[in-house]
């Protein structure tokens, strides 16, 4: 096994043909005599040829590369999407080029310019905060798909789940189990998903004829630590509650731990519902009832869709559904 660096010129000489012919058999897009083709193939093999993407891209205008703009790696949900994206591109010939926008518009625009400079053939935006105007400019320039975020008027190029509806279902589940005093620990207040999940909470309560009690709504930032702090605040306020709806699973972990520390049992005394269904949640004590966001599938679907777009075809992005996973962190109130 060696890692050579030969060019089509070497192959051409070895096979006694011209560079053009070599190029033809490589790209398989023109008719070549089967004998010469074999000779070329043979030369390629024995010389261990590997095409140079830069030359190829410069000449063809295609990079076979996709810019993937993430927002702060380490967030469980977006990590799931990233993994799906990688899987989705595997074997397609396209490679994902990851850059990180850090949930900051200026950074995001900067990294987008970077990948544009690298002449990516398409763009995958995982979340993000850029304006609709910039988004529109991007879309005019190259195939672009947004994942994990709903952009108004852009449904065709978005892969997302209906956060409002999913949150509403989760809270409805608590209501159906007899809970009335349902607290919510929110996510980062300026974050679209956080806002939508709160809206779902509000909606479900409202439909049950319950008004939101501000005393039961806690700030948070999607971290376990914020879940712990929220519980402490909640207990200090002294308002009774029998269930907590958490903006995501990490928050739920913190909530569960804080309750345990106060001697409050889950789910016997207080029920918990999370959001995301990250891998660990099924193995919590007790296993966490949570809204499953199919991050992997979303990433894969987005990648597959983008490949179609880049090949000039149209693509129909699947509608993703948040699914409530019933596990053991919710008790029926007698």
Partner DNA sequence: TTGTACGCGTTATCAC
Partner DNA sequence: GTGATAACGCGTACAA
Residues at the contact surface with DNA, assessed by CB under 7 A: 7-9, 16-21, 23-24, 26-27, 29-33, 35-37, 49, 51-52, 54-56, 58-60
Query: Which of 116, 175 has the CB closer to DNA?
Result: 116
Bridge-based pairing state of the strands 158-159 and 182-185: unpaired
As a whole number of angstroms, the distance between CA 311 and CA 332 comes to: 52
Q: Output the CA–CA distances (angstroms, integers) from residue 262 to 59, 232, 257, 287, in the order listed.
A: 67, 9, 9, 20
- The enclosing H or E element of 99 equals strand 95-100
Label residue 132 left, alpha or beta by phi (over 0 means left) and psi (-120 to 50 means alpha). alpha
Query: Which of 225, 233 has the CB closer to its own copies?
Result: 225
Whether the CB-CB separation of 16 and 39 falls below 8 Å is answered with yes
| Contact between 112 and its own copies per CB under 8 A | yes
> Helix, strand or coil for residue 273?
strand
Q: Which two tokens stand for residue 39?
A: 């000779």
Q: Please state the separation of Cα 15 from the chain's center in Å.
A: 47
Q: Output the CA–CA distances (angstroms, integers) from residue 197 to 28, 38, 40, 140, 245, in the order listed.
A: 51, 60, 59, 31, 10
- What mask, x for binding its own copies by CB under 8 A, covers residues 273 to 312? ------xx-xxxxxx-------------------------
| Contact between 263 and its own copies per CB under 8 A | no
Nearest approach in angstroms of CB 43 to DNA is: 12
- Part of the chain binding its own copies (CB under 8 A), chosen from 17-25, 47-55, 162-170, 183-191: 47-55
Quick one: which of 257, 264, 308, 323 contacts its own copies (CB under 8 A)?
257
| Contact between 132 and its own copies per CB under 8 A | no
| Contact between 152 and its own copies per CB under 8 A | no
Give 66's strand partners: 96, 122
| Contact between 187 and its own copies per CB under 8 A | no
- Part of the chain binding its own copies (CB under 8 A), chosen from 9-17, 80-88, 188-196, 315-323: 80-88
What's 284's DSSP letter?
S
Quick one: which of 86, 175, 203, 217 contacts its own copies (CB under 8 A)?
86
Given the rule CB under 8 A, which residues bind its own copies? 1-3, 50-55, 57-58, 63, 65, 70, 73-74, 79-80, 82-83, 86-87, 90, 95-100, 109, 112-119, 133-134, 137-138, 141, 224, 227-228, 250, 253-254, 256-257, 260, 279-280, 282-287
């Amino acid at each position: 096994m060696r890692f050579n660096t030969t060019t089509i010129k070497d192959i051409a000489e070895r096979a006694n043909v011209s560079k053009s012919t070599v190029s033809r058999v490589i790209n398989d897009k023109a008719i070549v005599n089967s004998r010469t083709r074999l000779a070329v193939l043979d030369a390629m093999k024995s010389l261990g040829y590997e095409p140079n993407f830069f030359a190829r891209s410069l000449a063809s205008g295609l990079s076979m590369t996709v810019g993937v703009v993430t927002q702060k790696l380490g967030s469980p949900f977006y990590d799931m999407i990233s993994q799906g994206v990688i899987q989705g591109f595997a074997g397609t010939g396209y490679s994902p080029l990851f850059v990180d926008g850090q949930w900051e518009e200026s950074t995001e625009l900067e990294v987008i310019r970077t990948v544009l400079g690298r002449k990516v053939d398409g763009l995958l935006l995982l979340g993000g905060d850029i304006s609709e105007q910039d988004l529109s400019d991007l879309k005019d320039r190259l195939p672009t798909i947004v994942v994990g975020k709903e952009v108004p008027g852009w449904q065709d190029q978005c892969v997302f789940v209906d956060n409002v509806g999913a949150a509403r279902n989760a809270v409805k589940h608590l209501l159906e189990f007899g809970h009335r005093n349902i607290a919510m620990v929110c996510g980062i207040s300026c974050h679209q998903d956080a806002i939508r999940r709160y809206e779902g909470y509000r909606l479900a309560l409202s439909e049950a004829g319950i008004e939101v009690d501000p005393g039961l709504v806690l700030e948070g930032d999607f971290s376990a630590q914020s879940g712990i702090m929220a519980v402490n605040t909640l207990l200090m306020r002294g308002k009774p509650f029998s269930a907590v709806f958490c903006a995501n699973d990490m928050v739920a972990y913190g909530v569960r731990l804080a309750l345990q520390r106060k001697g409050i049992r889950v789910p016997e005394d207080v029920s918990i519902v999370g959001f995301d269904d990250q891998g660990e949640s099924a193995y919590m004590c007790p296993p966490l009832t949570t809204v499953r966001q199919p991050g992997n599938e979303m990433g894969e679907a987005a990648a597959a869709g983008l490949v179609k777009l880049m090949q000039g075809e149209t693509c129909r992005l699947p509608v993703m559904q948040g699914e409530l996973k019933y596990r053991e962190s919710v008790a029926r109130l007698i």
